[in-house]
Chain A
């Protein structure tokens, strides 16, 4: 079953066509790799799926609900969350507060009278332990190392408990040990039944993690299917790998 679909999705930026006539299907409970050369429209697609950008034409269907536009704050309603290509943490807040923001009240009036409680702290503690940031919980996010910042981003995603997770290059710039740690966390999310869309350039990781692959080139769909089959197609190798 497909949990996420796009139909004839288009996005123009002042005459530049970033995404063109894109119809894709993302299967539920699987890791879908989204690959393509730089400028192929991968991040634009992630922005369209998460409401950070509005499509010029076309629709997005999330869990059976077809939408022309999604507003960013509506994502949790659809059980969707995402990370960004450039890490975007709340830099001048502690690691714990970065997590508590994802766990506490969303209504502004109710939040005035809410203090984080024991349950919030227990949940945050569990997640921080899982990603290995428990010792760092009281330091500002800006003081974390690059790898730890990536882990905190994943921790926030885990705290959201979303069913659809869009990860925009979560392995970029990481040393091998950290790559393995984040790959293990992503596998665990899959075991929990989450649907993951993974934008990634590292083919070894794509082969290791992905059940399904979507290849984009110049804003269009180039190929879609099982990784081993897709990665052997000549047009994919030519467009993406230059082979």
Chain B
């Protein structure tokens, strides 16, 4: 049973940055690769503040969110000068800078070796250290993030994001400073990734720079689930997390199962683009 909870805990944690990316990319067409970097900010915030300085997990996670919000705010201002393809390249540049800082700042981040022994979250003396309780804990946090995204989606703010997706230039004539909306949604979406990073670090209890380059994973999740769909983002996260587990059941050699994972994601996306380009639950063409 623990195996299923382990897999679903990861799926629930991955759903959080995917919900954030869905707001950024699915709603406003900003092609951001930076989700993994902000996931890294949250993970390293917990690893450093909680692991090194013994600050409570939740305070460390909040510091991670605040740090992500500040970084994404300034990054968003810089990126607001860029459009579409260049925006994408700008976020790629940020991912590379962040990766290299984490990878080479040995004294602070542990460099390539990372940071081990990250403590599990503690609430009033109770450590969330069983797989089942961590699953429930992650589910609650994911539910809260989902609710925030839903709240935004149902508001006038959400309608404006949809209009930005459809025609940003035409929207300006109605008095909307669209760059402000894009900046706010980028900060919110990036902060969501930070929350997932903190959960991830607390769950695995170890973090290294390796996962900071796999932004394409979250892209696969929202493309498969359906761009612009909140439920699609969650479904995409579950499918992409569970998909490689198929190899475990069909007895694939472990040595090549990892490489086959990327192949499977690619195949799933290509097939989906042919059959249903909007993604499984998507309503919009992006």
Contact = CB atoms under 8 A, between A and B. Distances in A.
B171 A101 contact: yes
B1 interface: no
Contacts, number: 91
Interface of B: 151-152, 154-157, 159-160, 162-163, 165-167, 169-178, 180-181, 184, 283-285
B169 A105 contact: no
Contact of A90 (B163, B177, B181, B184): B163
Contacts of B156: 100, 104-105, 111-112, 114-116
Given A108-B184, A114-B156, A115-B156, A82 B173 contact: yes
Interface stretch (A72-80, A126-134, A181-189, A221-229): A72-80
B166 A160 contact: no
Interface of B is mostly: helix
B164 to A, nearest CB: 9
A200 interface: no
Contacts of B174: 76, 81, 101-102, 106, 156, 160
B155 A112 contact: yes
Interface stretch (A21-29, A31-39, A91-99, A212-220): A91-99
A75 B160 contact: no
Contact of B166 (A76, A90, A111, A113): A90
A75 B173 contact: yes
B2 to A, nearest CB: 40
A73 B155 contact: no
B173 A72 contact: yes
A89 interface: yes
B154 A88 contact: no
Contact of A101 (B154, B155, B159): B159
B175 A77 contact: yes
12 contacts: A76-B175, A88-B169, A88-B170, A93-B163, A97-B162, A101-B163, A108-B177, A109-B184, A111-B160, A114-B155, A115-B155, A160-B174
A92 B154 contact: no
Given A93-B162, A114-B155, 10 more contacts: A52-B169, A52-B173, A77-B175, A89-B167, A90-B170, A91-B167, A101-B163, A101-B174, A108-B184, A112-B151
Contacts of A75: 173, 175
A105 B162 CA distance: 15
A59 interface: no
Given A73-B175, A76-B175, A93 B170 contact: no
Contact of A92 (B151, B160, B166): B166
B118 to A, nearest CB: 33
Contacts of A71: 172
A90 to B, nearest CB: 4
A71 B177 CA distance: 10
Contacts of A113: 155
A9 to B, nearest CB: 20
B127 to A, nearest CB: 36
